[in-house]
Amino acid sequence: MGTVAITGSGSGIGAATRELLESQSTNVIGIDIRNAEILADLGTSEGRKEAIASTLDMA
């Protein structure tokens, strides 16, 4: 299915979505403040910029 980036993948709905997609052989790039491939605080402008740049590097 390709590659999908999921914010909030470290817990809750984001983690459940990640699990579902991975069970369907989708490559997932997780973004969260912990427990993810990309650690970023999306509540800040710098965090959002870093998350975008890192996601593009990994995709």
* Interval 48-59: pLDDT, tens: 999 999 999 998
* Interacting residues of 21 by C-beta distance below 8 A, sequence separation 6+: 1, 4, 6, 28
What is the model's pTM?
0.90
pLDDT of residue 32: 97
What's the number of domains the chain is made of? Answer: 1
- Please give the residue range of the domain that contains residue 10: 3-58
pLDDT number for residue 59: 84
